Amino acid sequence: MAVPETASTYFRKGFGLKAEVQDSLVSDYSGRLVDLLRARDFQLAAGGVTVQIAREFGFCYGVERAVEYAYQTRTKFPDRRIFLAGEIIHNPHVNDKLRDMGINFLRPGTNGFDFTAVASSDVVIVPAFGVTIGDFETLRAMGVVVVDTTCGSVLNVWKRVDSYARDGFTALIHGKYHHEETRATASQVSKYPGGRYLVVRDMIEARMVCDYIEGRGDRGLLLERLARGASPDFDPDRDLARVGVANQTTMLARESLAIADAVAQAMERARGAEYRARNFRTFDTICSATQDRQDAVEALLQEPLDVMLVVGGYNSSNTISLAAICAARVRTYHIEDAECLDVDRRTIRHRPIGSHSDVEVADWLPAGSVRVGITAGASTPNNKIGETVARVFATRGVVVAESA
């Protein structure tokens, strides 16, 4: 899949225009109130409200790089049509900014993106999640300029899955079968004849796999439940004999590790330790930024918090993971942005864990002295985090100046 970076139609390291786009990036995404929080040991207090923010939150390096390269691309090709394969990241405000810049968004279909509107003279940006091998090969054949912003952590997972398929192991991927990153990761096995993958969403689905490995599972039920995340012609009798575990980089780290351990133990119980040693592989492919944010929110939850706000796109997997961690410990609201807080009505509109629709809650901020924890997904800009902090205080009638 790799294309030599010297090729005139393939760019992975930007265009050397960082200085030219820096002012726009700062204007569009920086937040002075967040800077103030950092300067004050991640905490602000006023009007009986204490806001404490996790020490790792918001844009990670991979997201910053992808967004910056999109801005560089618009600057490099001011007169050419630019398309983006899906969303650059899962944050509506960032994607809306790119639309405002005249970047056209391609929609995914059943068998890849629809490139019918793209001409050979156009530019196509590959998002941070990457694209499938099939989509990449289509772009190469079209001769378009490709700007590849695939995150380095995702590339590391691809290398691991590639090695599994090369050596005859089925890639068991902890992820969401419909997620762009997981689809791209699973496609890596197609480089090898007989390459196989199986996607499991959680420990419940992983246990179905473990039961089958140990001879207790129902073949029809397994195939029915996991068919959408399985490679074509997946055969559990054949394809669960040798297994290598990987994961979507934004999943809950502890669950990924638990799934890997459960599969390993199942193989050992079924066929012995020697068999497991030869036929099971695993590697922790949770990205460091995801891990850092999960660790930071775990540390924040050690504090006496009354409520937790998690800010980020509702389709952002790493944000959902943060919300799940928090919800297990304290009353938690996953909000897309500060607009979810209605100051005048004292309500909050949020997306409960596992739901696909919003819920509005009245009087969400308890009376009296209250401590509010805040974190944000790796695709959430600082300005949106800062706006949320300001609205929390405004709910109590307190105006927090960014220079306070």
Neighbours of 193 (CB within 10 A): 6
Which residues are registered as beta bridge partners of 46?
49
Q: DSSP string of 101-135?
A: TTEEEEPEETTEE--TT--TTSEEEE-TT---HHH
In terms of Cα–Cα distance, which of 225, 235, 226 is closest to 194? 235
Pairing state of beta strands 108-109 and 112-113?
Answer: antiparallel
Neighbours of 259 (CB within 10 A): 26
Provide the 3-class DSSP secondary structure of residue 310: strand
Alpha helices, DSSP H only, in 128-280?
Answer: 133-142, 152-166, 180-186, 203-213, 219-226, 236-239, 253-271, 273-279
Residues with a catalytic annotation lie at 181
Alpha helices, DSSP H only, in 30-84?
Answer: 32-39, 61-76
Which two structure tokens, joined as six digits, stand for 293?
Answer: 């944010």
Which two structure tokens, joined as six digits, stand for 143?
Answer: 């001769």
